[in-house]
Structure 1
Amino acid sequence: MSSSKKRKVDAECQIFNKEWTSKYFFIDVGGKPACLICKESMAVFKEYNLNRHFESKHASKYKNLSAKEKAKKTEEMVAGMQKEQTRYRMESAQDGIMRTSYEIAHTIVKNSKPFSEGEFIKECLVVSATILCPEKNKLFENICLSRQTIERHVEDISKNLDLQLKRKVNNFSYFALALQESCVKDPAHFLMFIRGISKNFELTEELASVQSMEGTTTGKDLLEAVNQCMSKLEVDWKKLVCVTINTNPNLTDKHTGLLKSIQDQVKETNPEQNIIFLHCSIHQEALYRSVLKLSTVMDTVTKLVNYIRVKGLNHRQFVPLLEESESEHTDVLYHTNVRWLSLGKVLKSVWKLRTEIGLFLNLEEKDSAFPQLNDADWLSEFAFAVDIVGLMNDLNSRLHRKGLFAHELHFSVKSFMMKLLLFSHQIGNKEFSNFPTLQQVTVCDQNLEKYMSSLLNLHAELSRQFEDFQMIENDLSLVSSPFTFDVDNAPSELQLELIDLQCDALLVQQFKLVPLPRFYASLNEQNFQKIKANAQKMLVVFGSMYICEQTFSVMKVSKSNLRFSVSDDQFAGVVRIATTEMMPDFDSLVNSHSRLHS
């Protein structure tokens, strides 16, 4: 075929002839011929193809119609198709509007914003649409983002997330719980997080429940809350491996605490089941005051900073003084009794500005209120506090992250405890390489002994706080370092599989290249069944209570931002959305809403 003839054929196949509508019952829909009778589309505008389709599928019914009857029939069919397309476009637009409303509600809660923000967001959307796409302005005006709508959407999204979690829980091989009770603007709230692992080593860490505790919060009350949540999720208690808590007496009391209640309940149904109970929390402020004896430093620095920052006039006078003295710092950090991280930064800031602060107090004739700034012993203690608090902050920064494995926490704490012994020995030898601030001052022998003793006391206290982890250290080491673990120290039922594992050179190499869960997931089920099950049990253990502390922070922000009274269920929904890593199934939510209002 010549090129000119080919171009002619192509051209013919790109043009729709209107006569084909009454002749073959076809119309042009989006650049393709579509049959009005069966709605089937053809690839090209070619009369031969249209005629063949009509003759083979519809001729028996429509071939004997007169031209007038065919014209009338096609008009009816075209009108019906146009009506159907219009309805589809309207439904599609309505679904888009509804999905937008759901997604914005989700974003509002995820960022702990007030529900009333929805109306402000809508105003912004309408203004933007008026400028960028005025032809679609009506769509944006129809998006409903009132406070009541956001409230309903939050309830729908929360239920959807609960359903997703329930499905994941059903696939857990093992799971662990992290429990914490606290007070967020009264009443007390009880948080329960669940961490589970599937057969394929897929880890899920989610908020299982947040319950408002009215009245008493005894171990019995808390057990009832746990049972209620477990029943709702349809969790099999036999798969429970570990419960991690803070040091709240209601949780830890040996006779009436929650842990005792859980243990008794589990033993009733399965006497052979042994649950690991872990206390997993470093209370730094208590350590600073009771163990390291830093109360004098902390109180003086807090009082000093508050004197400068709280009183506006003092602060306005202090900042120009820093500028005049060409200090590298432009202000002193403000410490609200917030927590360890804030305190560490404040101590370091005040230490670096101590000369400028002394000059400022002298000008204000307030130096007599802070005689400690001229006391060599106090400055020595201050320098020690800056260094040790900084070191503790480094440890906490490593421990305060979501998804931490128990072996990571244990080895970080163990490493820090060994460093404390080294620090104590070094200070005893007047070696301050790891205490750069203390190196800047003169330290008397009496203070050296005091600092050595403080470090040893801190070591002893951390050992006491994390003694539960020492009981499972062997299990943690086996899972985290299977190729260097001594086979003689492994449980007898795992020894043969462990030998096979350690002798496989390919697995040794793979272990170095992939994350721990993925490595164990890749092991042959038949050859390493017990090794894999043991790894699953250890990998679900919570390595930190950070997720609970982070959630309480979210709760405080959400409570203050809601600005109106909500029920416990509504507040629980807000917290669920704000903390989850799961994404709502927006398609399902929109479809459910459409069916409900159709």
Structure 2
Amino acid sequence: MTTPKKRKIASECRKFQTRWENEYFFMEVRGKCVCLICNESVAVLKEYNVRRHYETKHQTYMSYTGVEREQKVKQMTASLLAQQQYFSRAKKTQENATIASYEVAQLIAQHGKAFSDGEFVKQCFTKVAGIMYPEKSQEFDSVSLSRNTVVQRIASFEVAQLIAQHGKAFSDGEFIKQCLTKVAGIMCPEKSQEFDSVSLSRNTVVRRIEDLSANIKHQLADKTCVFDFYSIACDESTDATGTAQLLIFLRGVDNNFCITEELLDLTSLNTTTTGKDIFEAASNAIDKIGLKWDKLCGVTMDGAPAMTGQCKGMASMVCTKVQESGGEALKMHCIIHQEALCAKTVQLNDVMNTVVKTVNIIRVQAHYHREFQAFLTDIDAEYGDLLYHSEVCWLSHGSVLRRFYSLRSEINQFLKEKDRPLHELSDPLWLADLAFLVDLTEHLNTLNKNLQGKDQLIPQLHAHMKAFCVKLRLFEAQLHTFNVAHFPTPSEIRSAFPKVDLSGKKGKYVSVITSLLTEFSQRFQDFSTIENDIKLFVTPFMINAEKVEESLQLELIEMQCDYSLKNQHQLLSLPDFYRSLEEAKFPLMRRHTKRMMSLFGSTYICEQTFSLMMLIKSRLRTKITNDHLCVILCILTTKLIPDLPAILQAKAQLHCSH
């Protein structure tokens, strides 16, 4: 018996009939018959199936007839097409974004740029797209790059600002333009010519950055006119070419208790760096911007003799000039620098010398170093290498010791294999000293990190320092009975060598803590001098009125007896609280607060800026002029926003490269 052949739908040549749109509300989408009402599709292009779907599920639509029915079909068809185009556009946008990402990645590789420059490039073309075509900016932002004349000029300024903020070379403008042109050619090819008109040549970028810096300086000059008090922080260091650079930062407070902290100047000291040279540079910077000397209330510097000298030091000369102008200024030694000097007094040189010597043995010889790294990788050690010790790095001691302690077993095994055993690593008494030093330097590093950071006021820094002194007294008392509750690393050694009595070390450890506490007590005299002023600023309702200046006593008593002010002090931040005080009733208290808020407690902002300077003026970029270095740092460190419309208005020409 012959088996009947199965019907093949494909062979029946069934096609969609145009009349089905009006009769059954169906349309053809990519070879499928789709219902305009419910968006369901019919599996087989057969009128019977289409009619059955319509009559069983959408009988209510039979009421539409004539012109009304035709309009309904057109409306529903347009709606379905709009939905499909939305998803197809989204898919196309994502495809373009991926292609653009590959194109820019290729340019990054071709120009030998760091992988992390992708994010910088993305910021640039997102800025440009946001200015030239705001409606397209979201599509530009979707490009993944992780690790008209006036408009074009603004776009050029924005990119120049980003170049300065990231410390990039001026010539990187052309690289950015290539990236922009590539991305625009893919994302919106019809607009690529207009993107190409954005001028980003080296000379244009230089002019843009100079204009941006000049505008920031102009804004700063306007702000200084309303300062009630200000202070400066100064530090000097050498750049990659050996030129001495003096950084001067300014912190000012206005009548509304708003703080402005900006770079005042970067001055190159091409000959000598005496106190007089530094003073003249600082004096010129202050006079140039139009600040009044009688409003200068503090100068903060590091411990260099040229800065701190009693007679010929820069700080003394500044204070003398302020006094001659009718004001009074405080000399402040950077609190972080003083803490670092205290940390150097920890007398466990036998431990530190052994650690540094061992690290040098392993790292100085290239083949030893490679073998040690391979050894650590093979045994899956916690770390992949040892750290070099640096005297000038604030946190180096603690980091080197912690890494050495964590890898002590691996170091011991490696050196034994090289027939250069380190016997100290088998001595529990030496290991106990190492463990104690590890924990002590970590306590010091924690303090150092707390003292770092921008915008910290004197009371915050003073509180960290006072708290550490209290901790040292606690450590001293506990170590008398060999209580190592706050020194967990020696406890590990005690557990590893239970038969060894380590309590004999307590005298040595107590002596180290006592010496450190004495050093902390002797230093920070500049902070101790103004301790009552700090208490008055932070806790005006808790300080005894007899302990403050006589000129402030009556206002302080008036304040302390006002319960509503006491409640406000608990609810508001310090600037907000003093801002709320009546100026006519508490003028001297408000004046005292402005002085305290304007003081720099450290030169951290200078140290941070020097780090940025070394990245900008590196050994590969030594020809950058001192003026250009200054304008870049001005843009890089500022919190002010350049006024681009004002810059454009000041320009006589509207050519895109001027």
| Both proteins in one fold, TM over 0.5 | yes
User: 1:544: how far off?
Assistant: 1.9
What is the correspondence of 1:234-383 to structure 2 with a 5 Å cutoff? 234-270=290-326, 273-283=327-337, 286-289=341-344, 291-309=345-363, 313-319=367-373, 321-322=375-376, 325=379, 327=381, 329-335=382-388, 337=390, 339-367=393-421, 370-383=422-435
Which amino acid in the other structure matches residue 221 of structure 2?
A: K
Is 2:524 the counterpart of 1:466? yes
What is the rounded CA distance, in whole Å, between the counterparts of 1:138 and 1:467 in structure 2?
Answer: 65
How far did residue 112 of structure 1 move? 1.6
Does structure 2 conserve the Cα–Cα contact (< 8 Å) formed by 1:176 and 1:242?
yes
Give the aligned partner of residue 180 of structure 1.
Answer: 235
Q: 1:103 aligned to 131, 141, 158, which one?
A: 158
Task: Give the C-alpha shift of residue 326 in structure 1.
Answer: 5.0
Measure how far apart 1:527 and its partner are.
1.9
Q: Secondary structure at the match of 1:104?
A: helix
Is the deviation greater in 358-367 or in 393-402? 358-367
1:342-361, Cα deviation, whole Å (9 max, x unpaired): 44233212212211221122
3-state secondary structure, aligned to 2:249: strand
Does the 8 A contact of 1:305 with 1:332 survive in 2? no
Match of 2:218 among 163, 170, 174: 163
Deviations 1:300-343 (A, max 9, x none): 3344345445655445544454455454x142353362613244
From the superposition, tell whether residues 319 and 233 of structure 1 become closer, same or farther in structure 2 (CA, over 3 Å).
same
Structure 2 residue corresponding to 1:519, chosen from 542, 552, 577? 577
Evaluate the alpha carbon distance shift between residue 333 and residue 580 of structure 1 in structure 2; reply closer, same or farther with a 3 A threshold.
farther
1:542, 1:131 → 2: CA distance?
51
Aligned-pair identity (%): 37
Structure 2 residue 248 is the aligned partner of structure 1 residue 202 = no
State the 1:161 CA deviation. 1.0
Deviation at 1:400, TM superposition (A): 0.3
Name the aligned partner's letter for residue 288 of structure 2. K
Q: List per-residue Cα deviations over 1:136-173 (Å, max 9, x = no partner).
A: 10122112222222222221111111111111111101
- Partner Cα separation in structure 2 for residue 428 and residue 541 of structure 1: 40
- The CA distance in 2 between the partners of 1:253 and 1:446, in whole Å, is 44
Q: Does the C-alpha gap of structure 1 residues 525 and 562 become closer, same or farther in structure 2, counting only changes over 3 Å?
A: farther
Unaligned runs of 5+ in 1: 1-88
Is 1:417 aligned to residue 469 of structure 2?
A: yes
- Give me the CA root mean square deviation: 2.4
The CA deviation string for residues 226-268 of structure 1, in whole angstroms up to 9 with x for no partner, is 1111111100111111111111100111121112222322333
Going from structure 1 to structure 2, the CA distance change for 1:326 and 1:557 (only over 3 Å counts) comes to: closer
TM normalised by structure 1 equals 0.79
2:605 paired residue among 547, 557, 560: 547
* Change beyond 3 A, Cα 1:118–1:310: farther
What secondary structure does 1:300 align onto? helix
1:223 deviation in Å? 1.6
Paired residues of 1:189 and 1:211 also in contact (CA < 8 A): yes
- Tell whether the 8 Å contact from 2:336 to 2:604 is kept in structure 1 after alignment: no
Give 1:180 deviation, angstroms: 1.5
- What are the residue-to-residue correspondences of 1:28-47 with 2, within 5 Å? none
Q: Cα deviation per residue 1:56-76 (whole Å; 9 max; x = unaligned)?
A: xxxxxxxxxxxxxxxxxxxxx
Query: Contact 2:333 / 2:602 at 8 angstroms: preserved in 1?
Result: no
Question: Given the superposition, is the C-alpha separation of residues 222 and 508 from structure 1 closer, same or farther in structure 2, using an over 3 Å criterion?
Answer: same
**TM-superposed deviation, 1:456:** 1.7
Once the two structures are TM-superposed, the CA of residue 427 in structure 1 deviates from its matched residue by 1.3
Q: CA deviation at 1:286?
A: 4.6
Name the structure 1 match of 2:491: 439
**1:4: which partner in 2?**
none
Distance 1:561 1:197, change over 3 A: farther
Partner of 1:560, secondary structure, is coil
Contact 1:408/1:543 (8 A) holds in 2:
no
**CA distances 1:158-194 after superposition (whole Å, capped 9, x unpaired):** 1111111111111101111111122223211111111
Moved more, 451-460 or 402-411: 451-460
Q: 1:320 to 1:222 in 2, by over 3 A?
A: closer
Report the residue type matching 1:94 in the other structure. Answer: T
1:237/1:316 CA distance change after superposition, 3 Å: same
1:534 Cα offset (Å)? 0.9
Q: Give the whole-Å Cα distance in 2 for the aligned partners of 1:421 and 1:145.
A: 60
Look up the match of 1:576: 634
TM-score by length of 2: 0.72
Q: Residue type matched to 1:550 in 2? A: Q
Residue 398 (structure 1) aligns with = 450
Q: Give the one of 234, 237, 245 matched to 1:189.
A: 245
Given that residues 335 and 343 in structure 1 are in contact (C-alpha distance below 8 angstroms), is that contact kept between their aligned partners in structure 2? no
Counterpart amino acid of 1:382? L
Q: 1:203 to 1:286 in 2, by over 3 A?
A: closer
Q: Counterpart amino acid of 2:212?
A: I
Mark the CA change 1:298 to 1:578 in structure 2 (over 3 Å): closer, same or farther: farther
Are the structure 2 counterparts of residues 260 and 316 from structure 1 closer, same or farther at C-alpha, using a change threshold of 3 Å?
Answer: closer
Q: How does 1:126-145 map to 2 (within 5 A)?
A: 126-145=181-200
